[in-house]
């Protein structure tokens, strides 16, 4: 059995908007089993609570190019600290990366190491 360190890291790509992943997002969210991970929920939340902030959507893809996880974050504020939060906080119930927890955890670790922020909430 492979240890976590031996498992491949998903390739990360910045996503420009909720519709960029289209049906792939829908399929991943359906497999995840939570309405709070759907692009309909998150884009509606963003429309009402985003208020011109920076959107940080990141897709994690496996070696075959298949979408394995989505990291749905945004920059809440930049001063005095750059604070990054998960999309949907407040009214959302099940928040965080979308997809298989193990894959999402590896992707989140890689993303956090490469992204500039002071606090992730």
Decide: helix, strand or coil at residue 44. Answer: helix
Q: What token pair was written down for 119?
A: 């606090």
Task: Report pLDDT digits (tens) over 9-42.
Answer: 899 999 999 999 999 999 999 998 889 999 999 9
Q: Where are the domains of the chain?
A: 10-120
Distance between CA atoms of residues 20 and 111, nearest Å: 19
pTM for this model (two decimals): 0.89
Helix (H) / strand (E) element for 76: namely strand 67-77
Task: Report pLDDT digits (tens) over 44-96.
Answer: 999 999 998 999 999 999 999 999 999 999 999 999 999 999 999 887 667 88
Task: Report pLDDT digits (tens) over 64-76.
Answer: 999 999 999 999 9
pLDDT level of residue 6 (50, 70, 90 thresholds): low
Helix (H) / strand (E) element for 84: namely strand 83-86
CATH class of 10-120: alpha beta
The DSSP annotation for 18-41 comes to TTSSHHHHHHHHHHHT-GGGSHHH
């Amino acid at each position: 059995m492979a240890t976590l360190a031996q498992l491949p890291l998903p390739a990360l790509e910045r996503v420009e908007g909720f519709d960029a992943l289209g049906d792939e997002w829908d399929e991943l969210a359906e497999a995840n089993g939570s309405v709070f991970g759907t692009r309909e929920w998150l884009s509606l939340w963003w429309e009402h609570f985003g208020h011109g902030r920076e959107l940080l959507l990141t897709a994690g893809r496996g070696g075959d190019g298949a979408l394995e996880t989505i990291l749905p974050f945004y920059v809440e504020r930049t001063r005095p600290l750059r604070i990054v939060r998960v999309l949907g906080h407040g009214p959302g119930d099940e928040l965080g990366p979308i997809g298989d927890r193990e894959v999402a955890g590896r992707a989140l670790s890689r993303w956090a190491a490469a992204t500039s922020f002071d606090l992730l909430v």
